[in-house]
Amino acid sequence: MSAQGGREPDIDTSLFARPSPRAIERVQISFIHLALIAVSATCLFPLWWTFASSLKTQRTVFSDHSLFPSDPQWFNYFEAWEKSDFGIYFVNSIFYTVLVVFGVLALASLAAFALSRLRFPGRQVLYFLLISTMMIPIPGAFVPLYVLLVKLNLVDTRIGYILPQINANIPLGIFLLKTFFDQIPRDLEEQARIDGCNRWQVYWHIALPLARPALATLTIFNVLAVWNEYLLAMLVLSSAKLMPLQRGLMVFQGAHITDYPLLMAGVIITIVPVVICYLVLQRHIIKGITAGAVKG
């Protein structure tokens, strides 16, 4: 056997070379993006199906399974707005949301600034007592709350619906804002005091502007909570002229139980304001959520 005949063939080892870290990172990012796209699709599909159903007729809403009807009924939105005083419910929800958000931001920011900057006996105990109330949901206090509202003659009133929501959302506001205020350097406050600022001026001109991301995050949390509130409205309100949007939506469903396109149109109308609010505050919300993640 010749030496040439016994020689092993050459193998291209480049085929078995280990992929570079950059290639591995690209593959990992691609899988992450695919997973996020899949999760997003599962979240967005019900919303799109609701939108498509709102543009169908009662006859085709169950038979037409297309993602967009060939003959969209845009008039359904006008009809849903006009029927069952839906416009009144919409205005009521905006009114309740604005007042509750303003009340929570004002009271929570003042309390959080005091707990962060003032030194007084029992400060930590008071803080933990306030935070511990976050573990008590509003439905868990419905019985004593209703008894209190009856004694104060606040049942079926706007103030009786607004005050419990402000009270329920203040602990979360204190928790978020105190954490943010604690990160503000004390040297900045001391410099302002040297320049002649009192504590109110430090709070108004320094602490609040720096806390805009946290305030935006707290705003969207409260907007979502108030805008989607239903149980408290069932307990406190009985007059149709005082009902918020979610309670009014259920009345609308009861009045038009078989008219699903109008019901879907009403659902889309309730979603649009929250989406707009998030898009407006998106940049500040991201900053607020990640504010305490990295210190440096």
How many independent structural domains does the chain possess?
1
Look up the pTM and report it: 0.81
In a domain, 208, yes or no: yes
143 Ramachandran zone, left/alpha/beta (phi>0; psi -120 to 50): alpha
The domain of 151 spans: 79-290
pLDDT in tens, the chain (296 residues): 445 555 655 555 555 567 777 888 888 899 999 999 999 999 999 999 999 999 998 888 888 888 888 888 898 888 888 877 788 899 999 999 999 999 999 999 999 999 998 888 988 999 999 999 888 877 888 999 999 999 999 999 999 999 999 999 999 999 999 988 998 888 888 888 888 888 899 999 889 999 988 898 899 899 999 999 999 999 999 998 999 988 877 766 665 566 788 888 888 989 988 888 888 877 777 766 665 544 44
Judge whether 46 lies within some domain. Answer: no
Is residue 8 included in any domain, yes or no? no
In a domain, 183, yes or no: yes
Decide if 16 is inside a domain. Answer: no
For residue 267, give Cα distances in angstroms to 60, 72, 191, 263: 19, 17, 52, 6
286: nearest Cα among 225, 215, 213, 222: 213
Q: What single-letter DSSP state applies at residue 137?
A: -
CA dihedral 78, 80, 85, 87 (to 10 degrees): -60
Residue 12 resides in a domain: no
Geometric angle at alpha carbon 218, from 113 and 32, rounded to 5°: 125
Is residue 40 one of the residues assigned to a domain?
no
Q: Which residues contact 224 (CB under 8 A, 6 or more apart)?
A: 274
What is the identity of the amino acid at 173?
Answer: G
CATH of the domain at 227: 1.10.3720.10
CB 79 within 8 A of CB 266: no
Residue 5 lies in a domain: no
